[in-house]
Amino acid sequence: MPRLSLDAVRSAASRARKATGSVLVQHFFQQLANTARLHPRADPRRHGVSILKDLPYTDSGAPHHTLDLYLPTHTPPPWPVAFYVHGGGFRILSKDTHWVMGLAFAKRGFLTVNINYRLAPQHPFPAALQDAAQALAWTLDHAAHHSGDTTRLVLAGESAGANLALNLALACARPTPLPQTQALFERAPRIAATIAACGLFEVTNPQRFLQRDAPLPAWVYDRIEEVHNAYLGPQPTQDPDLLDLTSPLLPLERGEHLHRPLSPLFLPCGTADPLVEDQQRLQRALERLGVEHLAAYYPGELHAFHAFLWRPQARACWRDIFAFIDQHLPPAP
């Protein structure tokens, strides 16, 4: 029996580590969402919220082209609208794992749109962004039917969802080469605020995480490399304008012209989050462009910490999110 080389052994071990890590991460967040649903306070009715589930926003008939509406029946309509895009590295999770985000906004009186979208690697870029743009177009067309007021519209997302939310905000401010996002530019909706939490704002260069003074642990870098490979796909586009839509930080760093003002941005992130440097770069770019924003850093917190609502800094983050929104949301008509 032939002996394996040391390189072959290392390669096999690396593949096994990556596969195991991917399964563990997905399982952890799915189990967390399922377990949290068992808590009595997870019942939307206790908060005066009702839910319309699995509404299609395209005619594909596919589950990934559906959304849930959270209706804040405890407050009088018309309601401001929060459009939420879930995270998961463009690869995993769904609106169902992110029910707590929908409930959090609805408790504050928002008609909340919590969307699914196609996931990589089966559906690499630009599928997720196309779907998010179509879901936002559906929201603009249909929110009023559900007593939503899209003149008071907030975009929000975390991690990969923050990337997509920022892309949608940018699509409303400048032309883009993707038909679905270009359609948003032509409609010119006014975005009152964008909440982009712990975002992966540059997908195209995962190697930057190995060039830091303190390189990431291998299992953490595996997840970022996995996102890069899955989202860009086996044959990434070479069109620089399209590549900018995978990494919305880059055109902002270059200072590219915005045809309309970019919405005010709130950027929360934990200081122990591996993606904190992406937020710091985005903060500097927005400062140079004169875009109104607030970057908030929560000491010692890890990635997506604000999802763990029982923790004090998570609750502080949500208070900061709503304080920022309250500052920028137009008054009710």
The partner residues of 267 in beta bridges, in order of sequence, read 295
Single-letter amino acid, residue 268: P
What strand order describes the sheet that includes 79-85? 50-56, 66-71, 111-115, 79-85, 148-158, 191-197, 265-270, 293-298
Q: Name the residue with tokens 């003002």.
A: 261
For residues 294 and 239, give the distance between their C-alpha atoms in angstroms, rounded to a whole number. 32
Residues 174-200: pLDDT tens digits?
A: 999 999 999 999 999 999 999 999 999
The pLDDT of residue 9: 40
Write down the domain spans for the chain.
Answer: 44-328
d(CA 269, CA 277): 10
Q: Name the superfamily (CATH) of residues 44-328.
A: Alpha/Beta hydrolase fold, catalytic domain (3.40.50.1820)
* pLDDT at 16 (0 to 100): 52
d(C-alpha 304, C-alpha 266), whole Å? 15
pLDDT in tens, 53-68: 999 999 999 999 999 9
pTM of the model: 0.92
Higher pLDDT: 306 or 31? It is 306
- Burial group, residue 257, by CB count within 10 angstroms (0-12, 13-18, 19+): exposed
Contact 280, 270 (CB under 8 A): no
Q: Give the C-alpha distances (Å, rounded to integers) separating 232 from 32, 240, 263.
A: 28, 13, 27
Q: Report the distance separating Cα 157 and Cα 52, nearest Å.
A: 20
Beta carbons within 8 Å of 43's beta carbon, 6+ residues apart: none
Q: Is the pLDDT of residue 29 over 70?
A: no
**pLDDT, mean of residues 167-172:** 98
Q: What is the pLDDT of residue 216?
A: 85
Please state, for a pLDDT cut of 70, what percent of the chain lies above it: 90
Q: How many CB atoms lie within 10 A of CB 56?
A: 13
Where residue 213 falls among pLDDT bands split at 50, 70, 90?
confident
- Dist. CA 297–CA 277, nearest whole Å: 11
The residue to which tokens 């009186």 are assigned? 109
Instruction: From residue 150, give the alpha-carbon distance in Å to each of 188, 274, 333.
Output: 12, 34, 12
